[in-house]
Amino acid sequence: MRMFVAACSMSVVFALSGCATKNEMVDKETEVALSEVPETALSAAKGAVEGFVPTEAELEEEDGKLWYELEGTADGKVYEIEVTKDGKILE
């Protein structure tokens, strides 16, 4: 009986170890080079904040939707701008 309980317990542990958390299934962020960000997205971000100079970029995905999060500065302040590849500002 102990062997049966141990075997069942191990099966549950192995089965759950392969399950993704909710955040892993929904959100995905990948750092990308600024040179990989479409010009339309960069131009839109620069137009959203006067003097914006992007320094970092991430490609993000949630629920099958993709966008870029651009981090940069303008007037000594740090900004994060979310923009689609087509140049639509999200945030």
Q: What is the pLDDT of residues 18-76, one digit of tens each?
A: 555 444 445 799 999 999 999 999 999 999 999 999 999 999 999 999 999 999 999 99
Q: What are the pLDDT digits (tens) for 58-71?
A: 999 999 999 999 99
User: What are the start-end ranges of the H helices in 18-64?
Assistant: 22-26, 39-48
Tokens of 5: 């309980």
Q: What whole-number distance in Å separates Cα of residue 65 and Cα of residue 84?
A: 9
Query: Could you tell me whether strands 77-83 and 27-32 are parallel, antiparallel, or unpaired per DSSP bridges?
Result: unpaired
User: How far, in Å, CA of 31 to CA of 39, rounded?
Assistant: 17
pLDDT at residue 91, as a whole number: 83
